Amino acid sequence: MPAPPPLPSGVVAFVKRDCPTCLLVAPVLAELSKRVPLTVYSQDDPAFPEPLIAVDDRDLAVSWHHAIEAVPTLLRVEAGREVERAVGWQRAEWEALTGAPGLGADLPDWRPGCGSLSVDPIRARSLELRFRGAARMKARRVELAPLEDDVEACFDRGWSDGLPVVPPTEARVLAMLAGTTRAPDEIVAVVPPDLVPCSVEKVAINAVLAGCKPEYLPVVLTAVEMACTPAFNIHGVLATTMSVGPVLVVNGPIRRAIGMNSGINALGQGNRANNTIGRALQLVIRNVGGGRPGEIDRATLGNPGKLGFCFAEDEEGSPWTPLAADFGLDAGQNALTIFPGEGPRTLVDQLARTPEELAHSFAHHLRAMLSPKAVMAFDAVLVVSPDHSRIFRAAGWSKARLRERLLELTTIPGDELVRGAGGIAEGLPESVRGRMIPKFRPNGIHIVHAGGGAGLFSAIIPGWANGELGSQTLAKEIRS
């Protein structure tokens, strides 16, 4: 940002005619001009205050650069540097700042000022763009023809995931960047498959396209960082012919601060934060990294979650610690977990009344995940709803106990897994006969609490090839 315009030494006042307090102190300013070096900047009328000759600040450049939030504001300036400030009219403050006693003897001792035009919501965004935008933003400007529709232009240029996007104007991107303390040119990640360095600004552009609010940006930035690590392997997630994509689960106070949904329809539509955060990550992968369907993205079928899949955990209603705590983060910490998953599959059990019955029901659903004979390669997220979790809460079952029991119940006789068993050609080699084979790795079932307060339904989100040969589930602190 360019340096603020220098102020003359002495006393400097900022006023506007459309301010009752400025009108009230106009005679005081006229009196001051005879006693101290005084410069007056007028925001709306250079002829005000009479009989002084004010500096015309109708473009608000001086007011904006010197952070004038209310008028009248009085500054004492020495060698071009502000050393003292008084806001509004308060006789004692003005006299102390100017060193001129007996000011406005016939006026009230105190009157509040009015809002500066430089912080007027109607003007603030354009001023921010005008004075700060060019310095903060490095992205290439794309000029549209006069008759082009901006939404259609985004489709035409391939920036969309198939749904309408929000055109990323300079003003919108600048407003989005206000959602983080990170510098716009900071590199967040190198994005596969094209291995393109991605700056905070580029993430912000795609967050605008996705429809995010600025306060969502820290979550999006964290998602991009995690997805582009070798451990998560977004290139592999894209290139596989399975129907998977990044699934994001948010923990910590930020869930409530940005209005995320962890309750009714938590895995569905209707919540802006849930839907746009996951979408922003996918748009970064598409627009920055080149991960487009039919090119590097080779999913045979795909799933609607590949538009964006993000939800918050219901920590307040949960009988267990948050999901991110399973990865070593503190409960109560703002955190994001990323999992390579498909769309959710509903799990129905309306009659179980004991944790053992419900664990058996969960296990039967989990055993059939992807294929009844697919073992040890695919992790799962088990989303337990409040109506189901209360059964475990009442019996005092911890998350670790539930996971341990599910691992036991999903251990399968090898005779059922060999090729041809059960009339299914798929399967394992004959060498597994007589052995017990786990369906999941020891840490392969991730349990999260979410959903509406009524309905005996939970959900399974099946994973992709997990571990070093595929994609690892990760958790990371969200930083602003």
Neighbouring C-alpha atoms within 13 Å toward the C-beta of 279: 26
Q: Is residue 147 part of a domain?
A: no
255: three-class secondary structure by DSSP: helix
Residues 58 and 172 placed together within one structural domain of the fold: no
**CA atoms of 16 and 114, how far apart (whole Å):** 9
Report H helices in 66-142: 91-98, 121-128, 134-136
**CA atoms of 116 and 73, how far apart (whole Å):** 9
CB-based burial label for 70 (10 Å; 0-12, 13-18, 19+): middle
Q: Is residue 140 part of a domain?
A: no
Residues 105 and 165 placed together within one structural domain of the fold: no
State the DSSP string of 110-129: EE--EE-GGG-HHHHHHHHI
Percentage of the residues of the chain whose pLDDT score is greater than 90: 93
Amino acid at 197: P
In this structure, are residues 335 and 253 in contact, taking their beta carbons and an 8 Å threshold?
no
**CA atoms of 223 and 123, how far apart (whole Å):** 33
From the list 35, 4, 24, 49, the residue with the least C-alpha distance to 109 is 24
Q: Is residue 141 part of a domain?
A: no
442: three-class secondary structure by DSSP: coil
In this structure, are residues 71 and 119 in contact, taking their beta carbons and an 8 Å threshold?
no
Residue 134: the pLDDT is: 63
Neighbouring C-alpha atoms within 13 Å toward the C-beta of 442: 0
Length of the chain measured in residues: 480
Residue 131: the pLDDT is: 84
Residue 128: the pLDDT is: 83
- Which letter does DSSP use for residue 46 in this model? T
Q: Is residue 144 part of a domain?
A: no
Pairing of the two strands 345-348 and 457-465: antiparallel
Q: Which positions ≥6 away from 105 have C-beta within 8 Å?
A: none
- Give the tokens for residue 205: 């552009």
Residue 138: the pLDDT is: 84
- Give the tokens for residue 223: 């998602």
Q: Is residue 89 part of a domain?
A: yes
The torsion angles phi and psi of 284, rounded to 5 degrees, stand at: -60, -45
Amino acid at 437: I
Residues 163 and 243 placed together within one structural domain of the fold: yes
Residues 124 and 183 placed together within one structural domain of the fold: no
Residue 135: the pLDDT is: 66
Residues 69 and 159 placed together within one structural domain of the fold: no
Greater confidence, 129 or 172? 172
Residues 96 and 176 placed together within one structural domain of the fold: no
Query: Quick check: 2 pLDDT over 80?
Result: no
> What is the average pLDDT across 400-420?
97
pLDDT digits (tens, 9 = 90+) for 116-160: 999 999 998 888 888 877 667 788 889 999 999 999 999 999 999
Q: How many structural domains is the chain composed of?
A: 2
Residues 81 and 157 placed together within one structural domain of the fold: no
Residue 1: the pLDDT is: 47
Q: Is residue 424 part of a domain?
A: yes
> What is the average pLDDT across 3-24?
92
pLDDT digits (tens, 9 = 90+) for 279-307: 999 999 999 999 999 999 999 999 999 99
The CATH number for 20's domain is 3.40.30.10
Q: Is residue 2 part of a domain?
A: no
Give the C-alpha distances (Å, rounded to integers) separating 310 from 18, 93, 262, 286, 344.
48, 53, 10, 17, 12
Other C-beta atoms within 10 Å of 95: how many?
15
- Which letter does DSSP use for residue 474 in this model? E
Pairing of the two strands 81-87 and 73-78: antiparallel
Residues 419 and 326 placed together within one structural domain of the fold: yes
Residues 168 and 121 placed together within one structural domain of the fold: no
Residues 36 and 178 placed together within one structural domain of the fold: no
Report H helices in 368-443: 386-395, 399-409
Last residue of a domain, one of 132, 162, 180: 132
Q: Is residue 138 part of a domain?
A: no
pLDDT digits (tens, 9 = 90+) for 425-446: 999 999 999 999 999 999 999 9
CB-based burial label for 9 (10 Å; 0-12, 13-18, 19+): middle
Query: Quick check: 333 pLDDT over 60?
Result: yes
Residues 195 and 94 placed together within one structural domain of the fold: no
> What is the average pLDDT across 162-188?
94
Give the C-alpha distances (Å, rounded to integers) separating 275 from 220, 260, 268, 300.
12, 9, 8, 23
- Give the tokens for residue 139: 């992205």
- 3-12, 181-190, 288-297: segment of lowest average pLDDT: 3-12
CB-based burial label for 102 (10 Å; 0-12, 13-18, 19+): exposed
Q: Which positions ≥6 away from 268 have C-beta within 8 Å?
A: none
Residue corresponding to tokens 């599959």: 345
Last residue of a domain, one of 103, 132, 161: 132
Residues 214 and 328 placed together within one structural domain of the fold: yes
Mean pLDDT of the chain: 95
Query: Quick check: 467 pLDDT over 50?
Result: yes
> What is the average pLDDT across 388-409?
98
Could you tell me the residue range of the domain that residue 437 belongs to? 153-477
Other C-beta atoms within 10 Å of 144: how many?
13
Last residue of a domain, one of 99, 132, 165: 132
